[in-house]
Amino acid sequence: MPIIVNLDVMMAKRKISLNELSERVDLTLSNLSILKTGKAKAIRFSTLAAICKALDCQPGDILEYVDDE
């Protein structure tokens, strides 16, 4: 998939654990883990906004497009 999820990078920069982020954005650990590992097929804008607010970042800091060609 050409969309790369850099959630783990932002979490490391902000020194926040998966558990803490899960509590802050009100997402289950399993759903956050699916997103973090890049296995998610979609993300709601409200979820993305909550993650960006919790990590004090922009959507482009978390999501990246890479051309597979």
Q: Express each pLDDT in 20-33 by its tens digit.
A: 999 999 999 999 99
Closest CA to 9 of 47, 45, 44, 55: 55
pLDDT of 1 strictly over 70 = no
CA–CA separation, 63 and 48 (whole Å): 10
| Residue 2 pLDDT grade (very low, low, confident, very high; cuts 50, 70, 90) | confident
Average pLDDT over residues 25-42: 93
CA–CA separation, 64 and 14 (whole Å): 18
| Residue 69 pLDDT grade (very low, low, confident, very high; cuts 50, 70, 90) | low
Specify the fold of 3-65. Answer: 434 Repressor (Amino-terminal Domain) (1.10.260)
Average pLDDT over residues 4-24: 95
Inter-residue contact 5 to 63 (CB < 8 Å): yes
